Amino acid sequence: MKRVPIKVIRRPIKLPFDIKMQLKLEELQEYTKEDDILEMSRHYNMLVVEATNKAGYSSLSVENYKRHRNWRHFERVWEICRMKGWDRKLYLEAQFARAKTWNSTMQYPQPGMMYSVGALKHFVEYLGDLTIKHKYDTNADKKKKGKETVSLREKAIQDIITSVETLAEYVVNSNFEDKAQYKALKIYQSWEELSPYYLWSIPWFHNVLEELKVSNMVQKCKDEFDKIGRSGSIQKVIKECVQKAEEYFNLPPNIDL
């Protein structure tokens, strides 16, 4: 009996477009994994500074960051968020919100605490509450994303430039003959319009702040001064930024009161 070879017709499997795009996305995510985790670390640092009001915190070492004990914790959080399609920054913010409910002296969650069953359950509830709250909001999708990551250094520079620009509008365009004296007067009168990072650079304002009537704005400014006072690097950034910004906007130097 003559054997007839069986021909197997091979047809390529065509995946639906949405599945192909999802697989492509996951492939790209692996390429950006390291950068994503570093960004998560920076966002975590920012949240720690906000929670403790202390500058200079770093969750990963600058060199050999992959060998740092926290790397594997951030890596696990990254993987969970990737699998679930969750916004990583919002996930971190939710864990810090969860820490506020703890009856302990711990001010913020440690990286190793952010992927427990309780942490995952909290985020699901947190995301559900956001969905209900912004159900009819046209910007609902934006509300489900974490806030922008800004380091203390970047925030100080941004705020100083804004403050100097605001002050320059008063001083440079005024008809007051003594610009330096007028500058001091405007700082005294309108200090609430200026950033604490800029005000810290004004020597005489430290004494004025102590004499001001207690208010939320005064206390906020004092807290920021205290934070700045504990960080030599931020002090250096402030001094250099104020000098360059004031030169750029043609503001006169400070006078002694």
Per-residue confidence (pLDDT) for residue 36, from 0 to 100: 86
Mark out the alpha helices in 100-151 (DSSP H runs): 117-133, 140-143
Per-residue confidence (pLDDT) for residue 112, from 0 to 100: 94
Instruction: Examine the domain organization and report whether 30 and 105 are in the same domain.
Output: yes
Give which of 58, 37, 38 is closest to 47, Cα–Cα: 58
Q: How high is the mean pLDDT in each 10-residue block of the chain (257 residues)?
A: 64 58 56 83 91 84 88 93 88 93 88 93 89 64 61 81 87 81 87 92 91 88 88 86 88 78
Give which of 216, 198, 228, 219 is closest to 55, Cα–Cα: 228
Identify the domain boundary among 104, 124, 143: 143
Number of domains observed in the structure of the chain:
2
Instruction: Examine the domain organization and report whether 214 and 139 are in the same domain.
Output: no
Per-residue confidence (pLDDT) for residue 59, from 0 to 100: 92
Instruction: Examine the domain organization and report whether 118 and 177 are in the same domain.
Output: no
Instruction: Examine the domain organization and report whether 138 and 33 are in the same domain.
Output: yes
Per-residue confidence (pLDDT) for residue 136, from 0 to 100: 60
Instruction: Examine the domain organization and report whether 128 and 179 are in the same domain.
Output: no
Give which of 146, 241, 151 is closest to 200, Cα–Cα: 241
174, amino acid identity: S
Q: Is-above-0.75 flag for pTM?
A: no
CA–CA separation, 187 and 168 (whole Å): 11
Give the range of the structural domain holding residue 207, as residue numbers without chain letter.
152-248
Asked whether residue 90 is assigned to any structural domain, the reply reads yes
Instruction: Examine the domain organization and report whether 30 and 74 are in the same domain.
Output: yes
Structure tokens at 222: 């004092």
Task: Kindly list the distances between the CA atom of residue 196 and the CA atoms of 90, 157, 217, 222, 230, in Å, as whole numbers in the listed order.
Answer: 27, 11, 10, 8, 15
Per-residue confidence (pLDDT) for residue 90, from 0 to 100: 92
